[in-house]
Amino acid sequence: MQRATAKIEMDAYTPEVAARTAHLYERVKRVVPAIEWPVFAPDIDAILELKRRRNAVVLAHNYQTPEIFNTIADIVGDSLALAREAAKVEADVIVLCGVHFMAETAKLMNPGKVVLIPDPLAGCSLAESITAADVRALKARYPGVPVVTYVNTSAAVKAESDICCTSGNAVAVVESLGVDRVIFIPDEFLAKNVAAQTRVEIIPWQGRCEVHERFTPADIATLRAQHPGIQVLAHPECDRPVVEAADFAGSTAAMQKWVADRQPAQVALITECSMSDNVALANPAVEFVRPCNLCPHMKRITLPKIRRALETMSVEVHVAPDVAARARLAVERMVAVGAPR
Ligand code: 13P
Ligand code: SF4
């Protein structure tokens, strides 16, 4: 009897594919080994064609791997930029290469578009740390105190909130409300870092980013001992002592800008791993030391899954209309607050 064997189909890296993608390899060759390119190129080639056929744009977060971020993405950035840019998309389809809350936010900002996420299981430990019922309980406990909600939350949680923020604009958002105290959810470390920059009293929640909570001040001390003169930049989802030990703290976009503007000889980004690859490609004169942690959720997004999303037009992100209307208000209020700080 003949046994059926499972066969994993992989497209050939033909001379035609090699020729069509050669200019893209030039962009990433400093961080993608030549031996890996024949694995990536056929999917990249297919995705570029599918984007044309589906009239789709790819939005990619700064934590996406370099072969995604630098070859097939039309718009890249931090959470704030992706939310803003999603609202302006005119194409029919948005493929969100990032985690689920980012795809939901894109849908909220541009409800008429088809928003696809290549892997719907790409979650976030912060988004999972709080439910809409938790927010209602907080509001009952602190009546009249406005709720400022980090975008790393579900649409249902945003719908219970007065206004959203990202790490790029959290202080400006808190201060825009003109009140003495706010409920700030769900990241307790971001809450501490915001509290250190404002007189507004912050009532926090106990959520944490599973990637950034692992960094310690001792990591930074070791870096400085091993690399005298190194500049250390940390994401504000790190605990307060880590941020205090760093030379600069800011959103992924703020870190990127800091490096681009100052061109330090040597830098370490205390954040997710792909960020260093992407910022390094844009800043060839800067040496990156990489004490990073991987975000397992961001890493669920891969080229084969992006290709499948465009082939099958799934998985589409939907938000229930009543939730969407309220959540959209909170995101739009944030966007109206203005330039990131
Ligand atoms: P940014 O808004 O800084 O891009 O951060 C998003 C995020 O998930 C960080 O962990
Ligand atoms: Fe969420 Fe942290 Fe991953 Fe960002 S890095 S998506 S906050 S788990």
Question: 95 near 73, Cβ under 8 Å?
Answer: no
Name the percent of the chain lying above pLDDT 70. Answer: 96
Question: 310 near 54, Cβ under 8 Å?
Answer: yes
Range of lowest pLDDT (176-180, 193-197, 323-327, 335-339): 335-339
Name the percent of the chain lying above pLDDT 90. Answer: 94
- Domains 2-124+298-312 and 127-209 agree in fold: yes
Give the per-residue pLDDT at 155: 98
User: Cα(295) to centroid of ligand 2, in Å?
Assistant: 6
What residues flank ligand 1, with Cβ below 6 Å?
Answer: 62, 78-80, 152, 166-168, 209, 235, 237, 251-252
Q: Report whether pLDDT(50) > 80.
A: yes
Give the pLDDT confidence of 5-17 residue by residue, as tens digits. 444 456 899 999 9
Q: Which of 236, 140, 144 is nearest to 188 (CA)?
A: 236
Question: 230 near 289, Cβ under 8 Å?
Answer: yes
201 CA to centre of own chain: 27
Confidence band, pLDDT 50/70/90 cuts, at residue 3: very low
Residue 183 has φ and ψ, to the nearest 5°, of -85, 130
User: Cα(10) to centroid of ligand 2, in Å?
Assistant: 31
- H or E stretch covering 116: strand 114-116
Give the per-residue pLDDT at 4: 44
Question: CA angle 289-292-293, nearest 5°?
Answer: 170
Give the per-residue pLDDT at 10: 67
Q: Which of 162, 173, 170 is nearest to 236 (CA)?
A: 170
Q: Which of 74, 59, 62 is nearest to 281 (CA)?
A: 62
Long-range residue pairs from 140-144, CB within 8 A, at least 24 positions apart, any chain: 142/181, 142/183, 142/203
Q: Give the integer Cα–Cα distance in Å for 156 and 135.
A: 10
Give the pLDDT confidence of 250-297 residue by residue, as tens digits. 999 999 999 999 999 999 999 999 999 999 999 999 999 987 889 999
- H or E stretch covering 171: helix 170-176
What residues flank ligand 2, with Cβ below 6 Å?
Answer: 99, 124-126, 152, 209-211, 237, 272, 295, 297-298
Give the CATH superfamily of 127-209: NadA-like (3.40.50.10800)
Closest atom of ligand 2 to 98 CA is 6
Q: For atom 7 of ligand 2, which residue has the closest CA?
A: 209
Mean pLDDT of 244-251: 98
Domain spans of the chain, in order of start? 2-124+298-312, 127-209, 212-289
Give the per-residue pLDDT at 11: 83
Give the pLDDT confidence of 121-131 residue by residue, as tens digits. 999 999 999 99
2-124+298-312: CATH topology: Rossmann fold (3.40.50)
Cα–Cα separations (whole angstroms), residue 184 to 154, 169, 307, 340: 15, 13, 38, 18
Give the per-residue pLDDT at 164: 98
Q: For the domain with range 212-289, which CATH number is right: 3.30.70.1450, 3.30.450.20, 1.10.10.10, 3.40.50.10800?
A: 3.40.50.10800
Mean pLDDT of 210-218: 97
Q: Give the integer Cα–Cα distance in Å for 275 and 281.
A: 10
Q: What is the number of the ligand closest to the CA of 207? A: 2
Mean pLDDT of 152-180: 97
Burial (CB count <10 Å: 0-12, 13-18, 19+), residue 118: buried
pTM, to two decimals: 0.95
Give the per-residue pLDDT at 273: 93
The residue to mutate among 85, 153, 243, 251, having the most atoms of ligand 1 within 8 angstroms of its beta carbon, is 251
Closest atom of ligand 1 to 235 CA is 3
Range of lowest pLDDT (39-48, 81-90, 285-294): 285-294
Give the per-residue pLDDT at 239: 98
